[in-house]
Amino acid sequence: MKLTQNYFFGNILMQLLFLFSLADSYALGAEFYKWVGKDGVVHFSDRIPEDADTTSENLQKKVIKDSVLPTEQKPAGSPVSLQSDNPIKTTIDSTFSIKGDHGLGTGFFISSNGYAITCKHVLDGNDNLKAIMNDGNEYPIGVISVNDRYDLALIMVIIYKKTSYIAVRDPLTMTPGDRIFAVGNSLGLQATITDGIFTGVRQDTSTKDNVVQFSAPINPGNSGGPLIDDKGKVIGVVSWKIVSQHGVPVSGVGFAVPSNYISKEYAYYLN
């Protein structure tokens, strides 16, 4: 099956989903406009279309900021565990936003020593890269290796302390219908979690390489983030999605770089 992706601009809401590569120039936090169209339908968008009724009674501006994650209080001197008993919480702790001069994306740790994975296209054209943790702290990023074929990049976050990390699972051991989660900087909202279903491992006929297909919603900023199973193991790196085909809008068809390509290229750096 040939993987086809086209842009669809006919529906205002779909303007939020218009990029082939999901790393986009979104600020931390999201700003949207809400209005009621002439057809009586409520619309949300990050921009105001020319035909919208922009009267003050109709047009509303909404700003959604990052959530504040509670910090567990521990008695002084208590040991700190890097891995949580909750696999989703561990994934959140192991995931960070990537900010550069020209866009945002997501990365995640694969070891406790600061080594991390993202998509190559998240780094393309982006200088002065920083990792933004869920506590708001920022750390510089060093690029160690990029892989054009698989759209993968190995990076190092200069954080000077042990970090949580995500273990890797081969997606070929998954069963269609298994539940999965995508975690990432969706629309500039850090550590956004969406869930869906694992569809299967398909082949891109143009490259003969495999891709993981899944149904969890993803948006600009999700690129480079982990796709995990219900045990918190990464089965893929969120890369792209189909938004329309032959002018017909498509939803729930996302693709990730299989995690066994991480093992193939960067096994030495895995915990």
The pLDDT score that the predictor gives to residue 104 is 86
* H/E stretch holding 138: strand 138-147
Domain range enclosing 103: 87-157
Torsion angle, alpha carbons of 31, 35, 41, 46, to 10: -30
**Is 97 tagged catalytic?**
no
The pLDDT score that the predictor gives to residue 103 is 79
Residues ≥6 apart with Cβ < 8 Å to 180: 195, 196, 197, 198, 214, 216, 227, 228, 229, 230, 235
In a domain, 221, yes or no: yes
What parts of the chain have a pLDDT lower than 50? 1-28, 40-42, 64, 66-81
The pLDDT score that the predictor gives to residue 252 is 81
Residues ≥6 apart with Cβ < 8 Å to 83: 90, 164
Of the residues 93, 94, 121, 164, which is catalytic?
121
**Is 151 tagged catalytic?**
yes
- Per-residue pLDDT of 35-89, as tens digits, reads 555 554 445 555 566 655 555 556 656 554 544 444 444 344 333 345 667 889 9
The pLDDT score that the predictor gives to residue 41 is 47
Tokens (6 digits) for 266:
């960067």
122 and 186 both lie in a single domain: no
Chain center to CA of 10: 25
134 and 58 both lie in a single domain: no
In a domain, 142, yes or no: yes
- Global pTM exceeds 0.85: no
The pLDDT score that the predictor gives to residue 268 is 95
CATH assignment of the domain containing 123:
2.40.10.10
84, amino acid identity? S
In a domain, 153, yes or no: yes
Nearest 5°: CA angle at 159, between 158 and 162?
Answer: 125
Q: Domain count of the chain?
A: 3
Of the residues 164, 223, 239, 244, which is catalytic?
223
In a domain, 5, yes or no: no
Q: Which residues pair with 249 in a beta bridge?
A: 244
105 and 136 both lie in a single domain: yes
Of the residues 66, 93, 151, 229, which is catalytic?
151
Whether residue 265 contacts residue 242, with contact meaning beta carbons closer than 8 Å, is answered with no
Dist. CA 266–CA 146, nearest whole Å: 11
**Is 45 tagged catalytic?**
no
99 and 128 both lie in a single domain: yes
Torsion angle, alpha carbons of 119, 120, 121, 126, to 10: 110
In a domain, 165, yes or no: no
94 and 141 both lie in a single domain: yes
177 and 241 both lie in a single domain: yes
